[in-house]
Amino acid sequence: MTESFGARLLRVLLTQRIALLGLLIVAVVSTFFIQDAGGYLTAPYDFDYMSAALINAVPLAMLGLAELLVILSGRGGIDLSVGAIVSLAGMTFGFAYGEWGWPLWAAIILTALFGALCGALNGFLVSYIGFPALIATLATYYAYKSLAIVINDQQPISTKPIQQLFSISESVELPLFGQYVPDVPLGIFTFLVPTVVAVWVLLARTAYGRRLYAIGTNDVAARWSGLPVRDTRFTAYVYAGLLSGLVAVVTVGQFASARPDAGVSGNGMALPAITIAVLGGVAITGGIGRVAGVVLATLLIVWLNAGILLAFVGNEGAQYQLLALGAVLIFAALLNGLTNRRYGGTS
């Protein structure tokens, strides 16, 4: 039977997550542009505002990629502790760079390695002890959060070197054609783009990436094929912790202060990161997910949140952002379930 145009379009949108996210981004941005033209927003929603909002995309996308790695590993893989690792690693960075006078590059390496160490504890509990990832990372979330708070008597570190780090969060003009487009936050180039490229290479161009997809799809078959299932899953949590450590450096720069609650204040950073990963097409059962989907899902969430802030007066916007985040998560979960039942998954 010949497939109709409507059925073909529906199949493409449901199975090609990149196409669906591109359509949703256009729909969200167009909606806020129309509202802006009609005078329904409290401030202009234009390209300058959208570019400035990208500062929030840097930590969200990096943590979304961290969740991509652990969820891909299968067996209910998830990391609820990434926000707490950001807080604790951020305090480590604050001590090293702001208090002990370490060079910036050495402090960044130390913070990344410390985050990897936190991730290694998660990986050990999940891969070698056999704890469910939800329970193991919830326990370490509490532990890391507590340590971040008590390590400096609940006080942030805001010495002069730390305050000067705010410069890494500033917007810069793009070379050659920068005068024609809005300035872009520097963190996009110094942290986000290298991370996106590194994770893409890891998943698409290395033997480790192929093993991770294999054990996420069916770890029993992978074990019988001779693949190192435990080591591969353990390493995914180590990488997630390392990315969280780098996000800690980003947040210290954004706040111009090493805050013990940087990654856990409010609803924390873990839940938005998980939402972005699921919205980006990462199957919660493991084995399915792409870097491009996580990046586009981040843009959708960031520009949606930026528009909501302009649509409401006062603190209402922040509350409606939470409502939108919950609605997006339900939508993404329903969409993934429908796609799996009808077409066998996304690509």
SS (H, E, C) the chain: CCCCHHHHHHHHHHHCHHHHHHHHHHHHHHHHHHHHHCCCCCCCCCHHHHHHHHHHHHHHHHHHHHHHHHHHCCCCCCCCCHHHHHHHHHHHHHHHHHHCCCCHHHHHHHHHHHHHHHHHHHHHHHHHHCCCHHHHHHHHHHHHHHHHHHCCCCCCECCHHHHHHHHHHCEECCCCCHHHCCCEECHHHHHHHHHHHHHHHHHHCCHHHHHHHHHHHCHHHHHHCCCCHHHHHHHHHHHHHHHHHHHHHHHHHHHCCECCCCCCCCCCCHHHHHHHHHHCCCCCCCCCCCHHHHHHHHHHHHHHHHHHHHHCCCCHHHHHHHHHHHHHHHHHHHHHHHHHHHHCCCC
Q: What is the pLDDT of residue 346?
A: 61
Could you state, in chain order, the average pLDDT of each consecutive group of 10 residues for the chain (347 residues)?
Answer: 71 77 90 92 91 92 96 93 96 95 95 97 96 96 96 92 85 75 88 96 96 92 92 97 96 93 87 91 88 94 92 81 83 75 65
Q: What is the pLDDT of residue 300?
A: 93
- pTM of the model as a whole: 0.92
Q: What is the pLDDT of residue 113?
A: 97
Q: What is the pLDDT of residue 72?
A: 95
- Report how far residue 11's alpha carbon sits from residue 5's, in angstroms, rounded to the nearest whole number: 10
Q: What is the pLDDT of residue 344?
A: 63
Cross-strand partners of 171: 185
Instruction: Give the tokens for residue 247.
Output: 């996000």
Q: What is the pLDDT of residue 215?
A: 94
Q: What is the pLDDT of residue 18?
A: 85
Q: What is the pLDDT of residue 347?
A: 60
Ramachandran sector of residue 206 (left: φ over 0; alpha: ψ -120 to 50; beta: rest): beta
- 8 A C-beta contact, residue 222 and residue 229: yes
